[in-house]
């Protein structure tokens, strides 16, 4: 087995995606430099262009007290200054500002918006004039602007309201505080849901979610900042228990009438990806059963709320996970694009509104990661994905690299017609101009920190380069970062790993290793961008003499449905098997001390960290698990049941993944960390594990961050990583 692993390593070394070599300089980096929230951390992030965005047909960005920009093919100039903006604010009766605010572009016209003193200001960049002034509610949230009627939908506590351009407010719902929430995101933000209101095209109607959580028990989070600690109620449906009920209403502004869609029984299901038809007569909803293995795309009448058509159904033995609603073509109200993993990889399909499949738009062993919009003519859709680059000899895609493509929408084509818009090898993320003729291309690669280009979507040519960021670590002591490949535990699937080695590595010495792990869905740790995704803490620890290793095991993202869903019903099994293949590889390296292997991870990675420590107590000497899932029966319904089904349906899977039952296996040093206000992995998980360890006579260590949610953010994050570092120094180094 060792010989096979060494062969895989040799092959992997030939295929390294990038390497950052050690610096001859002696300047040291601190946690304040390397951890987000640190006092000097912004200096060590590759430079980007402040507030770079599209406004009408102009690109804009902030520089000092000015906003600069222009048309992509024209000359760049000063668009306006803070002084000019203050003159406009004075004329409108508003207070002046001491620095440029954070702008957004709510309309396709040459209008910017920003918040100042609880007002949202709309500013015409050409007229130098405030054209709208919205007094925001002090407790209002979830503001959603409609360009057609210039109104904002927003929520006030659990009810939905509309703020009109004249400052008047319409009340859409008036529900009592009994566990009913309107106009907010539902289903724990799963299935691509990130808001709860949906304006129609002409602004005459507003679709919104109504979620009845009254049957879901209240989970008692505790606020300790009050004079006497106060309970903060949070509805948290756990796997196998009662779930909330969601309905969709259509509010008509002219009449004040609400029409409810007849989505019917059962009530415990998921209503996702709400989309208006181009003529505003219908609503499309991707409806998913609670078991999450069958999805129906349905169309409902806005007039009477009745179902008009069940367009098509998707089923899967593991799960179906719709993330995007129908995307209608700009020049054709009768055709739309649908994203689906039905053939194993996330791809695009062209449909007619009667539910007929016209053709596949993309195909192959790669995934579409994002749909950006359409070109100026509307005959091509612009996407990002992991499709192989045209100059590559590899026939399948790589999750290490992301490129942009223009895909032909001709319904008579017999195969995918795609033109690559990215000619630099690495990772590209684009933002289209309003008309789709141009794009801002943000690019990076293992040895390229950040480049920003303006490109034409018509011919993929770079019009001008706005930024070429320098290496922010120039002159500092740096580790060596390498990427390679090895076989998964199934003996056939190729996995990607990243290893970060101490500067001036001595092949004759033995070094401790820390495996940084996540291992779950919707995450990819080993990438093809700057330093291959190496984190600041990885750099810090490698500089202190540790080897940091990360492997994207089966179950992680951007490798297709089979790769990710292999974890279904048995969380922690295949992922741990793959991580142990990584351990075998590490043991094959002459400079690795196999008696000093540690592991660290957060959330799903905290589950993996704890599981590895308890399942292989003779391998792992030290571990730090943050926000760990300990017992999946106490995790929320949407995520938990997708990957595990219910505890009633899968008792063996839940039992095998219940880490409290392994508490007696603990031999080495395990530190658990949790935030007291964590509403994602509730505090009960790690507290229950402590009780199990007391009962089993084992002795983990524990640290709590009062007031923090699922992640420790802000400057407290420096304290977190100092705590983690000290723990590994005490018990692994």
Which residues are identified as catalytic? 603, 678, 710
Closest CA to 560 of 524, 531, 529: 524
- C-alpha 671/C-alpha 606 separation (Å) is 10
Angle at 337 between CA 335 and CA 339, to 5 degrees: 155
Name residues whose C-beta falls within 8 Å of residue 214's C-beta, 6 or more positions apart in sequence.
Answer: 178, 179, 180
Q: How far lies 26's CA from each of 37, 39, 474, in Å?
A: 24, 21, 11
Q: What is the dihedral of CA 7, 11, 13, 18, to 10 degrees?
A: -150
Phi first, then psi, for residue 419 (nearest 5°) are -115, 130
- C-alpha 59/C-alpha 56 separation (Å) is 8
Q: H or E stretch including 258?
A: strand 258-260
Q: How far lies 91's CA from each of 131, 136, 644, in Å?
A: 11, 20, 60
Task: Output the six-digit token pair for 170.
Answer: 């319409």
- C-alpha 443/C-alpha 465 separation (Å) is 11
Q: How far lies 217's CA from each of 222, 236, 688, in Å?
A: 16, 7, 19
| 105 torsion bin: left (phi>0), alpha (psi -120 to 50), beta (else) | beta
Contact 592, 547 (CB under 8 A): yes
- C-alpha 134/C-alpha 155 separation (Å) is 15
- C-alpha 630/C-alpha 611 separation (Å) is 9
Indicate the SS3 state at residue 640. Answer: helix
| 292 torsion bin: left (phi>0), alpha (psi -120 to 50), beta (else) | left
Task: Output the six-digit token pair for 102.
Answer: 């954070």
Closest CA to 615 of 583, 647, 589, 651: 583
Angle at 491 between CA 579 and CA 7, to 5 degrees: 85
For residue 560, the cross-strand partners are none
Angle at 417 between CA 415 and CA 418, to 5 degrees: 140
Q: How far lies 476's CA from each of 45, 178, 526, 532, 550, in Å?
A: 14, 57, 23, 18, 23
Edge-first strand order for the sheet with 111-116 is 111-116, 119-124, 129-135
- C-alpha 490/C-alpha 575 separation (Å) is 11
Q: E strands, 307-459, where?
A: 307-315, 327-329, 332-340, 347-352, 357-360, 368-374, 380-385, 403-408, 418-420, 427-432, 438-445, 448-456
Q: H or E stretch including 221?
A: strand 218-223
- C-alpha 654/C-alpha 643 separation (Å) is 11
Q: H or E stretch including 685?
A: helix 684-696
Task: Output the six-digit token pair for 615.
Answer: 């399942």
Q: H or E stretch including 717?
A: helix 716-731
Q: What is the 3-state secondary structure (H, E, C) of 49-73?
A: CCCCEEECCEEEEEECCEEEEECCC
């Amino acid at each position: 087995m060792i010989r096979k692993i060494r062969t895989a390593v040799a092959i992997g070394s030939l295929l390294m995606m990038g390497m950052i070599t050690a610096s001859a300089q002696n300047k040291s980096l601190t946690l304040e430099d390397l951890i987000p929230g640190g006092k000097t951390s912004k200096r060590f992030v590759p430079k980007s262009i402040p507030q770079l965005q599209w406004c009408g047909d102009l690109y804009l960005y902030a520089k000092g007290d000015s906003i600069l920009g222009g048309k992509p093919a024209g000359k760049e100039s000063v668009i306006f200054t803070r002084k000019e903006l203050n003159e406009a604010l004075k004329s409108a009766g508003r207070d002046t500002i001491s620095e440029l605010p954070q702008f957004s572009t709510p309309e396709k016209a040459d209008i910017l918006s920003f918040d100042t003193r609880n007002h949202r200001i709309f500013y015409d960049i050409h007229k130098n004039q405030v054209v709208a002034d919205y007094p925001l509610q002090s407790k209002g949230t979830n503001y959603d602007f409609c360009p057609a009627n210039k109104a904002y939908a927003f929520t006030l506590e659990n009810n939905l309201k509309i703020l009109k351009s004249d400052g008047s407010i319409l009340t859409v719902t008036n529900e009592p505080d009994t566990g009913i929430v309107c106009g907010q995101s539902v289903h724990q933000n799963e299935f691509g849901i990130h808001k709860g209101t949906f304006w129609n095209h002409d602004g005459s109607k507003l679709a919104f979610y109504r979620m009845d959580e009254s049957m879901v028990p209240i989970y008692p989070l505790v606020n300790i900042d009050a004079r006497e600690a106060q309970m903060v109620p949070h509805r948290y449906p756990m796997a196998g228990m009662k779930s909330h009920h969601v309905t969709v209403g259509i509010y008509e502004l002219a009449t004040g009438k609400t029409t409810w869609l007849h989505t019917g029984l059962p009530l415990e299901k998921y209503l996702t990806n709400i989309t208006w038809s181009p003529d505003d007569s219908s609503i499309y909803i991707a409806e998913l059963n609670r078991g999450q293995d069958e999805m129906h795309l349905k169309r409902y009448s806005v007039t009477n709320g009745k179902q008009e058509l069940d367009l098509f159904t998707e089923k899967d033995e593991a799960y179906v996970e719709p993330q995007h609603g129908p995307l209608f073509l700009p020049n054709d109200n009768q055709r739309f694009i649908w994203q689906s993993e039905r053939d194993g990889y996330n791809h695009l399909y062209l449909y007619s509104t009667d539910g007929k499949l016209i053709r596949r738009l993309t195909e192959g062993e790669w995934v579409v990661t994002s749909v950006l919009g359409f070109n100026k003519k509307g005959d091509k859709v612009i996407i990002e994905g992991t499709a192989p680059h045209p100059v590559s000899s590899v026939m399948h895609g790589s999750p290490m690299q992301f490129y942009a493509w223009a895909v032909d929408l001709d319904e008579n084509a017999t195969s995918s017609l795609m033109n690559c818009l990215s000619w630099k090898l690495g990772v590209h993320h684009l933002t289209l101009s309003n008309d789709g003729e141009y794009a801002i291309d943000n690019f990076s690669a293992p040895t390229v920190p950040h480049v920003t280009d303006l490109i034409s979507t018509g011919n993929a040519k770079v019009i001008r380069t706005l930024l070429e960021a320098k290496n922010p670590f120039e002159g500092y002591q740096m580790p060596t970062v390498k990427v390679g490949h090895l076989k998964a535990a199934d003996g056939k699937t190729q996995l990607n790993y990243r290893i970060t080695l101490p500067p001036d590595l001595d092949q004759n010495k033995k070094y401790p290793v820390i495996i940084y792990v996540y291992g779950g869905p919707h995450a990819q740790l080993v990438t093809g961008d700057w330093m291959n995704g190496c984190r600041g803490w990885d750099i810090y620890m490698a500089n202190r003499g540790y080897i940091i290793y990360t492997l994207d095991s089966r179950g992680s993202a951007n490798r297709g449905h089979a790769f990710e869903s292999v974890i279904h019903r048995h969380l922690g099994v295949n992922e741990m098997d793959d991580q142990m293949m990584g351990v075998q590889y590490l043991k094959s390296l002459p400079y690795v001390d196999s008696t000093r292997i540690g592991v660290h991870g957060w959330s799903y990675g905290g589950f993996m960290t704890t599981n590895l420590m308890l399942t292989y107590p003779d391998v792992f000497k030290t571990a730090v698990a943050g926000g760990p899932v300990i017992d999946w029966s106490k995790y929320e319904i949407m995520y938990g049941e997708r990957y595990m089904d219910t505890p009633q349906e899968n008792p063996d899977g839940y039992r095998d993944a219940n880490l409290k039952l392994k508490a007696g296996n603990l031999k080495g040093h395990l530190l658990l960390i949790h935030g007291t206000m964590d509403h994602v992995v509730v505090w009960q998980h790690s507290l229950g594990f402590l009780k199990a360890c007391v009962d089993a006579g084992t002795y983990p260590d524990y640290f709590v961050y009062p007031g923090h949610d699922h992640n420790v953010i802000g400057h407290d994050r420096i304290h977190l990583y100092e705590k983690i570092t000290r723990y590994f120094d005490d018990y692994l180094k």
